[in-house]
Structure 1
Amino acid sequence: MSFYDVLQRGDDFIREYRPARSKLWNYVSHLTCLAAVGGSKLCLTLFYDVQVKGLANLDKGLAMARKQNRGFLTIMNHMSVCDDPFLWGCLPWRYFMDLDDIRWGLAASNVCFKTEAASTFFTLGKILSTERFGRGPFQGALDAAVRILSPDDTLDEKHIYQGSSSSKKVMTTSASPLGSSLVEHAKSFYSTTYTPPFLRYKTSWIHLFPEGYVCQLQAPYNNSMRFFRWGTARLILEPTVAPVIVPIFSDGFEKIVPETRDDSLVGSYAPPNMGATITVNIGKAIDDSVIESFREEWKKLCDRFHDVTNPDDLTHELKFGQEARELRSRVCAYLREKVAQLRVENGFEEEDPRFKSVDFWKKYTYSQGASDPDIKFVGLNWAVKSYQKGVHKYDEFGNIIQHASTNK
């Protein structure tokens, strides 16, 4: 259950980075994605042993999403900066022959969007610029992800929260973002007037690393995960229809780009750990009934906490209220457990129970590891803000209180 204004902000965010409905842009975007996948495939074929388990689950999940006119969402642990695009190098070429079949993703603005050239490259690669370190889940990239997972022909009164009947809006064109219309004409209006911000001919696929940061831990905790950040839950609760969700667990990408590298001449240029095994374990699509139960809880919260004078947007309570936050936490814990089950299937022992706790990770990060000295990262814990450059400082509601240029 989504809101008109959320979808509109998602449209606006996409238009900010992509030329509206440009066939030339789509062509260049497809070439960019193919080049990234091809380079990844070449490296993997030459230097590593790739094993993909459960590929049929990915086929079935994507086919289900397309047949039922739903978005497709894959979620995976984040072991290395090469997880994307090397994950796609493990898949057959048939997944990349159509631009609509290539995933959308999210990446850190202070890492992948630092320059105009980098921004253009990653935008052509279907990546959304996401701000970390306090910006929170209510930002343009997440609104855009909600919009991308909402099929264009479901932007109607059946799928979008209506609230007060005295204030019903429909999305129109980019020249006239929002306008009034009788609800009974909404469906025909959408099909004849509304112009989506990007060209697509199928429902879309988004791939997400819900941990938000690379997590490489030293033994015996290697290949464990952080908690899943709560913005992930927005992609389950807020699209106009529930996406089909497929969990993935990978191990071995951390051997391709370890957080610490050999600084010798050979170590600097030769692919690390040549011959290492890369395993990608793709699980079955998550039970729709569970996802729908979460979405029904969300709908009830919207009924209780929407603003009758402006029912077209998330209220403060729906963003930051205790019940809404608790629901997002449970959604993410459930998704994390599904990925953790695949981790065990890959031969790892059960995770240390501390790693499931949001409070543990917050305390561990704020203390820079002093709270639990037995747990050590390979390299740096990138969730520590002081280790990264080019990030703003935000208050608890995601408002900028200090710009990156003045950070010390």
Structure 2
Amino acid sequence: MFDDPGVLSLLMPWHWLWSEPLTEKVRWSICAREVCFKNELLRHFFVNGKTLPVERGKVGVHQPVVSIAAHTLAKGGWVHLFPEGRINYDGKLGPLRWGVGKLICEARQLNGGRDPALLPFYHSGMGEVLPITMDRLNVGKQVEVQVGELIKLDDLTCNCDSRDAAVQQETWKAITSRVQAALLELERRCPPNPDQSAVAPKRDPPPS
């Protein structure tokens, strides 16, 4: 619960915070409605923090928030995604959601066939900074961030405009798989995250 905005705030130039209304350089993000928008106070906080609500388990990848984020990307904005769509307490990268691929395709279509820049990055150590068993930050710990190379997609996104729905879905899957491969490579370079699954709260299986 601290990686965004905590890690991003430390990585980005501080002057963006007061210049953002003019430059629009601060990221947009997406968060589950039941987590970040469960009351009016949180709603105001996250809306002003450029966070969009997603309804997990409703209509899958066809949620309006995906199209909103695609318009932001097409205009040159920065959208920061947690592509797993959940917290994995075992400390390992989990399966990604197809919405990643759909978002890329929609942004490409809105931007005249030009792919948005897709930059993967991965961090480890957050389980020590804010362990699941603590309700406050554990200061003095180190977080390592690995930033990858821009992901090449044009050999896949050329199928985004297909009129065949099955081809479109396969394209979304292929894009998502390539993103996952890039993140797994970054995960291999980082120190392992602690496995907190034994003390994690019980929950229902994640929606598809």
TM-score (norm 2): 0.84
Partner of 2:200: 379
| Cα RMSD, aligned residues only | 2.4
Partner of 1:278: 143
Asked if 1:334 corresponds to 2:178, the answer is: yes
Asked if 1:233 corresponds to 2:101, the answer is: yes
Contact 1:212/1:229 (CA < 8 Å) preserved in 2?
Answer: yes
Per the alignment, do residues 95 and 248 of structure 1 end up closer, same or farther by CA in structure 2, a change over 3 Å counting?
A: farther
Between 1 and 2, higher relative CO (CA 8 Å, sep ≥ 6) is seen in: 1
Q: Please report how far the alpha carbon of residue 87 of structure 1 lies from its aligned counterpart in structure 2 after TM superposition.
A: 1.5
> Among residues 18, 29, 34, which one is paired with 1:105 in the alignment?
29
Q: Please report how far the alpha carbon of residue 343 of structure 1 lies from its aligned counterpart in structure 2 after TM superposition.
A: 1.2
Greater Rg over alpha carbons, structure? 1
Partner of 1:215: 88
Per the alignment, do residues 383 and 324 of structure 1 end up closer, same or farther by CA in structure 2, a change over 3 Å counting?
A: farther
Q: Please report how far the alpha carbon of residue 257 of structure 1 lies from its aligned counterpart in structure 2 after TM superposition.
A: 2.0
Amino acid at match of 1:329: K
Q: Deviations over 1:147-190 (max 9, x none)?
A: 11112xxxxxxxxxxxxxxxxxxxxxxxxxxxxxxxxxxxxxxx
Amino acid at match of 2:133: T
Q: Secondary structure at the match of 2:47?
A: helix
Equivalent residues in 2 for 1:173-192 (5 A)?
none
Consecutive unaligned residues of structure 1, counting only runs of 5 or more, are 1-80, 152-202, 218-222, 262-267, 306-317, 350-374, 386-393, 397-408
Per the alignment, do residues 116 and 282 of structure 1 end up closer, same or farther by CA in structure 2, a change over 3 Å counting?
A: same
Q: Deviations over 1:34-89 (max 9, x none)?
A: xxxxxxxxxxxxxxxxxxxxxxxxxxxxxxxxxxxxxxxxxxxxxxx211111223
Per the alignment, do residues 382 and 208 of structure 1 end up closer, same or farther by CA in structure 2, a change over 3 Å counting?
A: farther
Q: Please report how far the alpha carbon of residue 134 of structure 1 lies from its aligned counterpart in structure 2 after TM superposition.
A: 4.0
Amino acid at match of 2:205: V
Per the alignment, do residues 120 and 376 of structure 1 end up closer, same or farther by CA in structure 2, a change over 3 Å counting?
A: closer
Amino acid at match of 1:253: M
Contact 2:124/2:191 (CA < 8 Å) preserved in 1?
Answer: no
Equivalent residues in 2 for 1:340-359 (5 A)?
340-348=184-192
Count of matched residue positions in the alignment of Structure 1 and Structure 2? 197
d(CA) in 1 for partners of 2:40 and 2:85? Answer: 23
TM-score (norm 1): 0.45
Equivalent residues in 2 for 1:8-407 (5 A)?
81-91=1-11, 92-99=13-20, 100-151=24-75, 203-217=76-90, 223-239=91-107, 240=111, 241-261=114-134, 271-272=137-138, 274-287=139-152, 291-299=153-161, 301-302=162-163, 305=164, 318=165, 321=166, 323-348=167-192, 376=197, 378-380=199-201, 382=203, 384=205
Consecutive unaligned residues of structure 2, counting only runs of 5 or more, are none
Q: Please report how far the alpha carbon of residue 95 of structure 1 lies from its aligned counterpart in structure 2 after TM superposition.
A: 4.2
Per the alignment, do residues 226 and 134 of structure 1 end up closer, same or farther by CA in structure 2, a change over 3 Å counting?
A: farther
Amino acid at match of 2:156: F
Q: Deviations over 1:79-114 (max 9, x none)?
A: xx2111112232131443432000000000011111
d(CA) in 2 for partners of 1:277 and 1:293? Answer: 38
Percent identity for Structure 1 against Structure 2: 25
Partner of 1:76: none
